[in-house]
Amino acid sequence: MAQRNFSCNKKARRIAVSKKAARVSPYAPPAPKLWPEYFKAATVSTEKVVPKMAEHNDCGFNLPAWKDTKLSDDIERISIDVEKHRHKLGEIEVYFKGCMKRSYPDAKVWTVGSYPAGVDIRDSDLDFTLTIPCLNESKFSKLMAIRAQFQRTEEFVNPWVVKGWNPVLKMKHKESDIWLDVTINNDAPKRNTMLLARYSQVDERFAKLCRAIKKWAAETGVENSRNGRLNSCSICLLVIFYLQKVGVLPNLQNVFPELNGNIEVDSDDYQQENILDDLKKAGWVVGKNKSSLGALFCGFLKFYSKFDFSSKWISIKRGRALDKFDENGNKNEGLPDDVRFIVLEDPFMDTPFNCGRTVSQADILERIQLEFRLAVKRIKATHQISEEKSVMRTQIDTDGIESDKKTIEIERDICYGTWDLDLPRREDREWPGRFYDPVVEIEREPWPKVIPKVRCFYDVADSLF
């Protein structure tokens, strides 16, 4: 009983002490005086904060400096990501040329297309055109003979020849799943590849911009010639014309007359020595337009979203857009066939030829220009040029998933008795992959279907010969 009273008294004394005021040292400094003006409300500006704009863009489209830098960096990364794929293409190119030389010593091989021109993307294939003097046969028979040679190797699979006015041998590299297209005596792609490579020499922004736009076009469906949309060559011509309009690229065929007509390309070394010096001598100021890649990308989309394809056609050889019809509604001279929709003149052929002939319906043309407009809106809203995750975002997600996997393994190794039973175990929680890999569905209506052309009996008969 005495012990109980002692504990109660001790508790009472502790409560009494806690209620006493704290002692103040006589040596403590005085507290600072707070004057009323210190408590006055700070004046807050209600004006809208205007971001700093990029000052170097001269292409008809300006961006805030931070967004300009981000978009330009994203475009740069697209070209950096392509390098690994380009290394594979280079190895297959060397192997294919070696096989051709062993089988046909007099064969001459040109690599053509986006890879040698420097405008390839991650899913680009390899294109070749050959001359084989020792085979005095038709193009189709020559390709069948080459097909028989490669059927004996294990490096390539599924070789087959597509019939047509210009037959094509198609086969796939087994290890890399890269397709090869081989033609015979096909001069047009050699000239076009050379021209694209020369424009890439003039300004590196051309190749980087081409890659970014081709990637965007592939994601959105704008590039799909089999379904009545643009092909890769047409997109490159559109980029060249836009860059000519804003002063990034010159008109090379105007500066160098030798680049006109049915010129012969002796080898697939498409680079021109001292091209920048020759341009300076001709009066062209190299690099006078300092616009960034991000501004040029947005400017390209805006330019063609408003371009009047119904009344204008594009010629990079002339460096301008021309009227399709005169005042009386007649076709102007030099206009290629298939003039109803997108018309892009072939820069070399003497007979006018439309590289944009794959766009064959008005509703498809309207959808293409709609995609241009939607892309501009999307960039303003999300600050991204691609619907895919950026390289950095992909790396962050990958690292996060790996970290979560390690955490789960550690928790499984912990003895169950040492775990706090009030906390749910990791297996009972929502899998974090749903955070790292969200399913983002963009509401986009399906593309218009291509209406098959009605072919008469004579058209069918002609195609058989």
CATH of the domain at 94: 3.30.460.10
Confidence of residue 415 (pLDDT cuts 50, 70, 90): low
With respect to residue 6, please indicate whether it lies within any of the assigned structural domains: no
Kindly report the number of other CB atoms within 10 A of residue 139's CB atom: 20
Phi/psi for 190 (5° steps) reads -65, -45
Q: Is 52 exposed, middle or buried (0-12, 13-18, 19+ CB in 10 A)?
A: exposed
pLDDT of residue 425: 52
Q: Is 314 exposed, middle or buried (0-12, 13-18, 19+ CB in 10 A)?
A: buried
pLDDT of residue 340: 81
- Distance separating alpha carbons of residues 442 and 333, to the nearest angstrom: 44
With respect to residue 236, please indicate whether it lies within any of the assigned structural domains: no
With respect to residue 174, please indicate whether it lies within any of the assigned structural domains: yes
Measured between its terminal Cα atoms, the distance across the chain in Å is 122
With respect to residue 182, please indicate whether it lies within any of the assigned structural domains: yes
Q: Whole domain around residue 398: which residue ranges? A: 391-415+422-436
With respect to residue 430, please indicate whether it lies within any of the assigned structural domains: yes
Helices (H) and strands (E) in the chain, counts: 14, 7
Our count of domains for the chain comes to 2
351 vs 242, residue with greater confidence: 242
pLDDT of residue 222: 95
In the chain, the percentage of residues whose pLDDT exceeds 90 is 52
Asked whether residue 462 carries a pLDDT value surpassing 60, the answer given is no
Asked whether residue 145 carries a pLDDT value surpassing 70, the answer given is yes
Q: Give me the mean pLDDT over the 372-388 stretch.
A: 86
Residue 138 tokens, joined: 């038709």
pLDDT of residue 219: 92
pLDDT of residue 34: 62
With respect to residue 53, please indicate whether it lies within any of the assigned structural domains: no
With respect to residue 139, please indicate whether it lies within any of the assigned structural domains: yes
With respect to residue 137, please indicate whether it lies within any of the assigned structural domains: yes
H or E segment and range at residue 225:
none
Q: Last residue of some domain: 173, 188, 203?
A: 188
pLDDT of residue 168: 96
pLDDT of residue 62: 82
Asked whether residue 402 carries a pLDDT value surpassing 80, the answer given is no
Report the mean per-residue pLDDT for the chain: 83
